[in-house]
Amino acid sequence: MKKQLAKAVEIGVETLNYWVISYALSSMTMVFRADWLFVLFFASNVWLIGRYYDRTAAVLDSRKWAVPVCALAFAAFVLFVYRVGLVQGSVMPFAQRN
């Protein structure tokens, strides 16, 4: 029972980390969508999805159960972004000192 609870807590923490980091990367991807830095943030987000899947598969000891868990986490993230939106903004240079 303790092992199952520990696995659930670890997957919960990994999912929360995935959501927070993916939200930040997605927001930065949209801010830099007209710049070459777009590629950097997009690639980092793709890497994060792969890392989340690998970590979930390792915790669950099953790749077949990791797929639906990751799909549910991704769907919940997409629903959150759809309801709340991404951070809006523009790139501004650092202030110059006189």
pLDDT in tens, the chain (98 residues): 888 999 999 999 999 999 999 999 999 988 888 888 889 999 999 999 999 999 999 999 999 999 999 999 999 999 999 999 888 877 777 777 66
Does a structural domain hold residue 62? Answer: yes
Does a structural domain hold residue 25? Answer: yes
Q: What pLDDT was estimated at residue 47?
A: 96
pTM for the complete prediction?
A: 0.84
Q: What pLDDT was estimated at residue 88?
A: 80
- Domain range enclosing 35: 2-84
Does a structural domain hold residue 41? Answer: yes
Q: For residues 30 and 21, what is the distance between their CA atoms, to the nearest angstrom? A: 14
Asked whether 62 and 4 are in contact (CB, 8 A), the reply is no
Does a structural domain hold residue 40? Answer: yes
Q: What pLDDT was estimated at residue 11?
A: 95
Does a structural domain hold residue 98? Answer: no
Q: For residues 38 and 75, what is the distance between their CA atoms, to the nearest angstrom? A: 23
Does a structural domain hold residue 29? Answer: yes
In total, how many domains does the chain have?
1
